[in-house]
């Protein structure tokens, strides 16, 4: 239970500026990956990796906190 509470607190804490930029880049990469996967002739392997990388970058950057505050 403590782990979930810790994750919730980290999720709601302010994100440092650098990680906000990383999060934005991750969202763009994930979106581009979804566009590549969507058509019937899409490149599912490359697009799938892009969606995965973008999702992981977005979530991990959201969980970072500024320890100095």
Q: Is there a contact between 26 and 55 (Cβ–Cβ < 8 Å)?
A: yes
- The pLDDT of residue 69: 64
pLDDT score of 68 more than 90: no
Three-state SS annotation for 50-63: HHHHHHHHHHHHHC
Give pLDDT, residue 40: 85
pTM: 0.81
pLDDT tens per residue, range 10-63? 999 999 999 999 999 999 999 999 999 988 887 888 999 999 999 999 999 999
């Amino acid at each position: 239970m403590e782990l979930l509470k810790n994750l919730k607190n980290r999720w709601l804490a302010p994100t440092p500026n650098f990680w906000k930029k990383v999060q934005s880049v991750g969202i763009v990469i994930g979106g581009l990956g979804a566009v590549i996967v969507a058509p019937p002739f899409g490149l599912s392997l490359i697009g799938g990796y892009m969606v995965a990388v973008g999702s992981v970058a977005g979530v991990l950057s959201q969980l970072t906190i500024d320890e100095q505050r």
